[in-house]
Structure 1
Amino acid sequence: MALPLLGAALYEQVQRSAQGWLDEGLEDTALTLAGQVDVRGGEPRIDISATMDRALRFDRQDDVFYLVLAPDGSVMQGDAGLADLQPRSQAQAAGRSSYRDVKLRDRDLRLVQLGHECGAGACQILVAETLHKRDALQRQIGGLVAITGAVLVVLLALAAWWAIRQGLTPLTGLSAELEHRDLHRLTPLAARLPRELVPLQAAFNRLFERLASAAETQREFLADAAHQLRTPLTSLQTEIELAMLEPHDQRVDPLLRRLRQRVERSARLAQQLLSLARTEDRTVDLGQRIDLRDIATESGQDWAHRALPSGVDLGFELAEAPALGHAFLLREALENLIHNAVNYAGARARITVRCGSGPQGAWLEVEDNGPGIAPADRPAAMQRFRRGNTSSGSTGSGLGLAIAADIAARHGGQLALLDAHGGPGLRARISLPAVPGSVAAT
């Protein structure tokens, strides 16, 4: 709103100054005529030669008119038509002048009237010109002011854009930093911000402190609860197995087997909860150089001493797979994938554990020929306490795939649920980033 008013004021000022200069030019012509008036014997006289008349009237753009009137109003020299424009009420005293816009024969004129001492009174000298150069000058001034205003608007807009951009750059950086924060990354914000944004940064840091404290309390509770559950559940499982070995009524065998199955499931759940707490432990060093083949070998030796369901064939196809991470967590992820395959693939299942590396990094996968998981159900299957639609008859808790996915994410990788090679089943693959400087195995 201020800029148009400023432009109008500037236009008015420049236009008034230009009009003043042109009016002074008219008055100079009137003064020249006044210099030609001579008073002899008390009678004013003026003698304008043809050459001087042409000089007085010369103008490249406008027509110039002039008239010299005696004190009594009689015409002494010039264009008599101008006499009608000089009523006696507007006669000027000697040495005084006035300006006004007039109309002569339907032509707009600018007129200056000058009073000049002529003995007994004041002669009136009138000089007028058409408005062509004044109109042209007015248009030029208007165009110049408009261009100047437009340039000023553009410059102000650029300055405002630059100022806003500079002012919002720290806020944009803060927003980008907050976008990557989660419960696993609650370190204080340390960006250098303008003084006005420092209280906001401090408020976020205090919020992160409270969230980190709450998350740590939750992890400690989960770990303590799982740890406290493992001992009594293990003892209960041992007591049930001893009871099954002692002489007893065979009619209670189904009951004891169901009890053992429930206790085994509860013990497995406690172990998974403990693994979940360890997965979320931020103090774990994930930068250790490891080989996924060693982790898979250790798991294979462990599973070789376990009682697998009847007909289950567990095989291993292992290749060198260097990676950066934490061996215990990755072994826990593999354990959950194998246990998930054994639990859901069914009788006479064929389960294969593989590992290797490529240009994108190392990978570890467990494939089975069971019923698999429908593609539409796979995202939900990797959420905590969610199980696939084909798992209604199993004894899982819905944590195995979620734990494996969390461990993969902690290592900068991901867990993908894929179709099995060449038939029905599921292939769960953990992909990890490539180790800097390592050469992919062929």
Structure 2
Amino acid sequence: MAKPARSSLQRRLFGWLMLPLLVALPLLGWALFGQVQQSAQGWLDEGLEDTALTLAGQIDLRSGEPRVDVSATMDRALRFDRQDDVFYLVLAPGGQVLQGDAGLTDLQPRPPAQAAGGVWYGDVRLRDRELRLVQLGAACGAGACQVLVAETLHKRDALQRQIGSLVALSGLGLVALLALAAWWAIRQGLAPLTGLSVELEHRDLHRLTPLTASLPRELVPLQAAFNRLFERLGRAAGAQREFLADAAHQLRTPLTSLQTEIELAMLEPHDPRMDPLLERLRQRVVRSARLAQQLLSLARAEDRRVDIGNALDLRDIATECGQDWAHRALPIGVDLGFELAEAPALGDAFLLRELLENLVHNAVSYAGAGARITVRCGSGHDGSWLEVEDNGPGIPTAERPVVMQRFRRGESAKGTGSGLGLAIAADIAARHGGRLDMLDAHAGPGLRARLSLPPLPSLPSDQGPAA
């Protein structure tokens, strides 16, 4: 059954931030649209009112009866508009038409009469046309003349569309800007958590030092919890290493004694039929003693108290290992050769000797009698290296990562190995900040195990090597 996809914290935060924004912005946009439209409507209505006031100023009361005298030039000026048709009408207090478009008397709905100084605005219909009307009450003796000015809605509709488009585009732009700002802010806010995840990804039982990164206040309890977990893991790993070392140490002495007793028994007079049994016992004890030694080496490789900062030369380590193996390789017909060059490095000599011992032992065990094994070392701009090459059957490429895991052997491996040799070598390499690679032999079949160590740290510019 497929596991459900895990939601992203970053996306969840982004969604919760954008949800109220997407709800509030349309409401704010609608309110802004209404406010701007009302203001624009007010400005246009003031223009109509100005026209009505101009007409009211043309009412003449000197003859006793109100009269309006509008010249042709003034009429054109009052009606001039590049987008809309403008209509006007001046009515006497009794409703008689004094000047203008008499058809405005048929407006629906009919606007209420205004007292002198009163103003009324509204939308009206004249037959099939929508109009915006302002009606102004002007003093006309004992009554009030009614001044009506109306215009069609073309520029008002166009202005409404422009305002709506502007508010919509502004809202979309604001949403996009706020979305980018929120996404960037969330990424920046979660960056410490991402950094903490990366740091934790590189932690293992060899690196349980406390986390010391400067984190936001909300992540400090999480960091403290991890540090307490590392402390408990460190104590547990230390107890395991001590148990392993103690058990291996306690086993090594009786196993060595048992091996000696078996070898002495083989030298004493005995029934020849017991030789195969005694040889099998001896081999089993040798293997057990080897396993105990490897467990000791494994415990030492994981011991954080071991100083790996000592200056040494891999050539010296290879020379010592060669001296130890010379008397063991010759009897079984192994051609053990050395191509050594200066290879300065920092590390622990005991652990690096154990690494090389495991590589050589692995080559001798699996290459078989009559094998040709070469130990090389040297240095370059990217650090020093040490390798052991044999002409044995090698290890298939797909199995090489597996054989460097503890108690794991290749499917085609022969012999009675425990699957610890290469794992210990890989652990020691990692402990020294280097790596162990399983490579093909330079020529023909075989395996080349190569240890690569980092270069020596450079001295400050004002210092140099001792004379």
TM-score range, shorter chain: over 0.9
Task: Select the residue among 181, 194, 199 that pairs with 1:172.
Answer: 194
Cross-structure match for 1:351: 373
Cross-structure match for 2:15: none
Instruction: Judge conservation of contact 2:329–2:335 (CA < 8 Å) in 1.
Output: no
Task: Select the residue among 315, 340, 355 that pairs with 1:293.
Answer: 315
Whether 1:318 and 2:340 are equivalent positions in the alignment is yes
Deviation, structure 1 residue 18: 1.1
Whether 1:412 and 2:452 are equivalent positions in the alignment is no
SS at 2:352's partner residue?
helix
Mean Cα displacement is larger for which, 395-404 or 147-156? 147-156
Which amino acid in the other structure matches residue 291 of structure 1?
D
Distance 1:379 1:55 in 2: 95
Distance 1:275 1:43 in 2: 126
After superposition, where does 1:205-224 map in structure 2 within 5 Å?
A: 205-224=227-246
Cross-structure match for 2:152: 130
Number of residue equivalences = 437
Distance 1:74 1:190 in 2: 94
Give the TM-score normalised by the residue count of structure 2: 0.87
Q: Deviations over 1:77-102 (max 9, x none)?
A: 11111121277773223332212222
Whether 1:118 and 2:119 are equivalent positions in the alignment is no
Instruction: Judge conservation of contact 1:351–1:367 (CA < 8 Å) in 2.
Output: yes
Mean Cα displacement is larger for which, 113-122 or 25-34? 113-122
Mean Cα displacement is larger for which, 65-74 or 34-43? 34-43
Instruction: Judge conservation of contact 2:241–2:302 (CA < 8 Å) in 1.
Output: yes
Whether 1:163 and 2:185 are equivalent positions in the alignment is yes
Give the TM-score normalised by the residue count of structure 1: 0.92
Which amino acid in the other structure matches residue 27 of structure 2?
L
Alignment CA distance shift 1:295-1:63 (3 Å)? same
Cross-structure match for 1:282: 304
Alignment CA distance shift 1:323-1:42 (3 Å)? same
Which amino acid in the other structure matches residue 25 of structure 1?
G
Cross-structure match for 1:432: 453
SS at 2:66's partner residue?
strand
Alignment CA distance shift 1:87-1:400 (3 Å)? closer
Alignment CA distance shift 1:196-1:128 (3 Å)? same
Alignment CA distance shift 1:42-1:146 (3 Å)? same
Structure 1 portions without partners, runs of 5+: none
Q: Deviations over 1:217-269 (max 9, x none)?
A: 11111111111100111111111122222232332222222111111110000
Distance 2:455 2:118 in 1: 97
Structure 2 portions without partners, runs of 5+: 1-22, 460-467
Distance 2:188 2:393 in 1: 58
Cross-structure match for 2:214: 192
Which amino acid in the other structure matches residue 276 of structure 1?
L
Whether 1:5 and 2:22 are equivalent positions in the alignment is no
Distance 1:423 1:79 in 2: 112
Distance 2:110 2:396 in 1: 109
Deviation, structure 1 residue 309: 4.3
Q: Cα RMSD over matched residues?
A: 2.2
Instruction: Judge conservation of contact 1:99–1:113 (CA < 8 Å) in 2.
Output: yes
Which amino acid in the other structure matches residue 185 of structure 2?
A
Mean Cα displacement is larger for which, 162-171 or 98-107? 98-107
Mean Cα displacement is larger for which, 103-112 or 208-217? 103-112
Task: Select the residue among 101, 106, 119 that pairs with 1:84.
Answer: 106
Distance 1:367 1:358 in 2: 19
Cross-structure match for 1:254: 276
Task: Select the residue among 417, 424, 428 that pairs with 1:403.
Answer: 424
Q: Deviations over 1:58-83 (max 9, x none)?
A: 33433321111122222111111112
Which amino acid in the other structure matches residue 116 of structure 2?
A
Q: Deviations over 1:163-205 (max 9, x none)?
A: 2133112112212211211111111111111111111111111
Distance 1:156 1:373 in 2: 58
SS at 1:43's partner residue?
coil
Which amino acid in the other structure matches residue 219 of structure 1?
R
Instruction: Judge conservation of contact 2:111–2:135 (CA < 8 Å) in 1.
Output: no
SS at 1:117's partner residue?
strand
SS at 2:346's partner residue?
strand
Alignment CA distance shift 1:89-1:288 (3 Å)? closer
Distance 1:153 1:20 in 2: 30
Distance 1:390 1:59 in 2: 98
Deviation, structure 1 residue 106: 3.5
After superposition, where does 1:12-51 map in structure 2 within 5 Å?
A: 12-39=34-61, 43-51=65-73
Instruction: Judge conservation of contact 1:405–1:414 (CA < 8 Å) in 2.
Output: yes
Alignment CA distance shift 1:50-1:351 (3 Å)? closer
Mean Cα displacement is larger for which, 239-248 or 196-205? 239-248
